[in-house]
Amino acid sequence: MRIITGIYKGRHFDIPRSFKARPTTDFAKENIFNVLAGYIDFEGINALDLFSGTGSISLELVSRGCEHVVSVEMDRDHHRFICDCIKKLTPNTPQPSPHILPLRGDVFRYIKSCKQQFDFIFADPPYALKELPTIPGLIFERGMLKEGGILVFEHGKENDFSNDPRFVEHRTYGSVNFSIFRN
């Protein structure tokens, strides 16, 4: 896993082989961020990374200048890995980066209790998750995305969100599908 661009460009992190997470490939990540450059400037915004997995997207967002990133991951080992990566980015400081808050917890509980709004939300649930099709709707129902904010939803090829009124476009990179929404 590597950080594509920004202040931490080129930093690599080795993902343990024991991980169950399916990280967004560097190829897909680089391409979707190139597309997003036409939608949003990451400098100084607040972002949310749901189903963080390896933390690849959270680290990329911080590197690109996000003021604050909340990273939500339920798996204990994955959460620990994200925390370790954050520490490696700022090794000479006693506290982890003030720009990223890694939370260990259930994404659905987080969505239900979230009172904060974000400029950008990235969600990458397990493709087999039965609740997967409901996630964009839940995010919009809870008012988690600021007006004009962008939601990027990673999903399998069998999902189609094009009928959602906030749907903007769909991108496919290999087996990775992204639906982009604007509030």
Contact 50, 116 (CB under 8 A): no
Residues 6 or more apart in contact with residue 13 via CB below 8 angstroms: 1, 2, 54, 59, 85, 88
Q: What is the structure's pLDDT at 27?
A: 87
* pTM of this structure: 0.93
pLDDT, tens only, 7-40? 899 888 888 888 876 677 788 899 999 999 999 9
Query: Would you state the structure tokens that stand for residue 126, as one six-digit string?
Result: 């397990």
Which residue stretches of the chain have pLDDT < 50? none
The per-residue pLDDT for 142 is 96
**Edge to edge, what strands does the sheet with 176-182 contain?**
100-104, 68-73, 46-50, 118-123, 145-155, 176-182, 167-173
